[in-house]
Amino acid sequence: MPLLKIQASVATPDPSQVNRLLKQLSSQLANHLHKSEAYVMTAFEADIPMTFGGSEAPACYLEVKSVGTISPLQTQAISQDLCQILEDELKIPKNRIYIEFNESKGSLWGWNGTTFG
């Protein structure tokens, strides 16, 4: 039910690096949201043309969606960890990363032919 979607302006990394990154981010998101990683989905898109602050320097946009509420303490911790991981792995400065957090009602999240609500 949690989803992390990443769009980055950097060139597509090696597939093994992408897989390692997605697994690391999946684990972190599950831990922060106190949800089973069995339901976490991560997606990564590279080579997305984007600007940030009028500059074409490396930048990244993330969407974090989850069923239920996400507290301000959780969003702060998630932001800190995800930005650090992306800076370390993709060399995108933390100050060039935006994260959008979205809470969803269980009835608005489908899976396995049904919904979570």
Q: Which residues are part of the catalytic machinery? A: 2
Instruction: Please list the residues that pair with 102 across neighbouring strands.
Output: 65
CA torsion angle 81 82 88 91 (round to 10): -140
CA nearest neighbour of 29 among 59, 61, 66: 66
Cα angle: 28, vertex 24, 42; to 5 degrees: 85
